[in-house]
C-alpha cells in the first residue's frame, strides 16, 4: 500500500546520521557498488549485540 509520513526515516535520523543525513547499515561494508532494493536478498555474515558496540 501507499505509505505517508516521515517514519521510519525520522526515527532512524534521531540516532544514526552521517553528514547530517540518516544512514542505513551503520556497520556494513560494501563489497560491490550498487543499489539495495526492498526485494533484494541480504546475507548477514557477522553480527554483534548492542553491548558489543560500546
pLDDT of residue 47: 79
Per-residue pLDDT tens over the stretch 1-54? 677 777 777 776 777 777 887 777 667 777 888 888 889 998 888 877 767 665
Q: What is the rounded CA–CA span in Å between residue 19 and residue 37?
A: 23
Confidence at residue 10, expressed as pLDDT on a 0 to 100 scale: 77
Which range of residues forms the domain containing residue 41?
1-54
CB neighbour list of residue 21: distance below 8 Å, 6 or more residues apart: 13
Q: What is the pLDDT of residue 39?
A: 92
Dihedral in degrees, nearest 10, Cα atoms 39, 11, 31, 37: 20
Count of domains in the chain? 1
Q: With a threshold of 0.85, does the pTM exceed it?
A: no
pLDDT score of 25: 65
pLDDT of residue 53: 61
Amino acid at each position: 500500500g501507499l505509505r505517508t509520513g516521515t517514519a521510519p526515516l525520522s526515527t532512524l535520523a534521531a540516532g544514526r546520521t552521517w553528514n547530517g543525513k540518516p544512514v542505513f547499515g551503520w556497520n556494513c561494508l560494501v563489497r560491490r557498488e550498487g543499489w539495495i532494493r526492498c526485494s533484494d536478498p541480504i546475507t548477514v555474515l557477522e553480527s554483534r549485540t548492542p553491548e558489543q558496540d560500546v
